[in-house]
Amino acid sequence: MKFDLIDQVTARDDSSLSAVKNVSAAEEYLGDHFPRFPILPGVMMLEALVQAGRHFAAGADDPPPRPLVVAEVRNVRYSGMVRPGETLTLSVTLRKRDGHRYDFQGTGTVGDRTAVQGRFALEPIAATA
């Protein structure tokens, strides 16, 4: 099952990208997380940031030759819940690029409160022989 968590890219420049994820009660994983108190799982918040990073890389002058995968995750902090009906605003900023490896700082907010923040790196999946 593939989860496309980016509903819309709202801005992009040479070093950053902003996007939104509208959380709907119809999303199947919310039924189990948690019954009677659904919230967007933390791993899905991180995945939304990763997908925003992939959108950034896809718009580069020389996009990666193969799909990007997570190479590293650091200092991720969750500081707020995201409930159905809320919009998670995502922001990724390129910290460093080495060839097709991208190092990002990402933040997800709901209104004026931070829900998730951290650093992560993406690099092309290894070529198969």
Q: What are phi and psi of 2, to 5 degrees?
A: -105, 135
d(CA 129, CA 115): 41
Instruction: Determine whether 33 is an active site residue.
Output: yes
Please report, for residues 34, 82, 104, the alpha-carbon distance to residue 67 in angstroms, rounded to integers and kept in the order given: 32, 28, 17
Is 128 buried (19+), middle (13-18) or exposed (0-12) by CB count in 10 A?
Answer: exposed
How far, in Å, CA of 82 to CA of 114, rounded?
A: 10
Cis preceding linkage at 34, omega within 30: yes
Q: Which of 12, 33, 101, 119 is catalytic?
A: 33
Query: Which are the catalytic amino acids?
Result: 33
